Amino acid sequence: DVKVTQSSRYLVKRTGEKVFLECVQDMDHENMFWYRQDPGLGLRLIYFSYDVKMKEKGDIPEGYSVSREKKERFSLILESASTNQTSMYLCASSSSGVGNEKLFFGSGTQLSVL
């Protein structure tokens, strides 16, 4: 069964901490994405990557960075966590190709910043 695995389901951190959210996919997908999901705001794209070592800013990159050293792993980094970064974080992957991109999502990480 194909999978996108996020390292933690729940995470509690303190303001100012550096936070790493890890995502691994086993489908040999080229594309990987990080979203945050908040009530009433839907899914908002933070960063994405279409290849190893490559990254692109999404709609809300401020306060975040990413790392993609290997094809299967895409990490989201909160350099200095703040309370407004409390959210559900979803990782997704897809294969490259022409059209009909299908996203496979992980189960999400609920991050609370206190």
Partner 1 sequence: TQLLEQSPQFLSIQEGENLTVYCNSSSVFSSLQWYRQEPGEGPVLLVTVVTGGEVKKLKRLTFQFGDARKDSSLHITAAQPGDTGLYLCAGEDSGNTPLVFGKGTRLSVIA
Q: State how far the Cα of 24 lies from the Cα of 42, in Å rounded to an integer.
A: 23
Q: Does the footprint of partner 1 cover residue 1 (CB under 8 A)?
A: no
Residue 1: CB atoms within 10 Å: 3
Contact region for partner 1 (CB under 8 A) — 14-22, 43-51, 60-68, 72-80?
Answer: 43-51
Residue 5: CB minimum distance to partner 1, A:
11
Interior CA angle at 100 toward 97 and 103, to 5°?
90
Tell me, residue by residue from 55 to 74, as one string, x for binding to partner 1 by CB under 8 A and - for no binding: ---x----------------
Q: Does the footprint of partner 1 cover residue 41 (CB under 8 A)?
A: yes
Q: Does the footprint of partner 1 cover residue 11 (CB under 8 A)?
A: no
- C-alpha torsion sign, points 85, 86, 87, 91: positive
Please, which residue, 67 or 110, has the CB nearer to partner 1?
110
Residue 50: CB atoms within 10 Å: 14
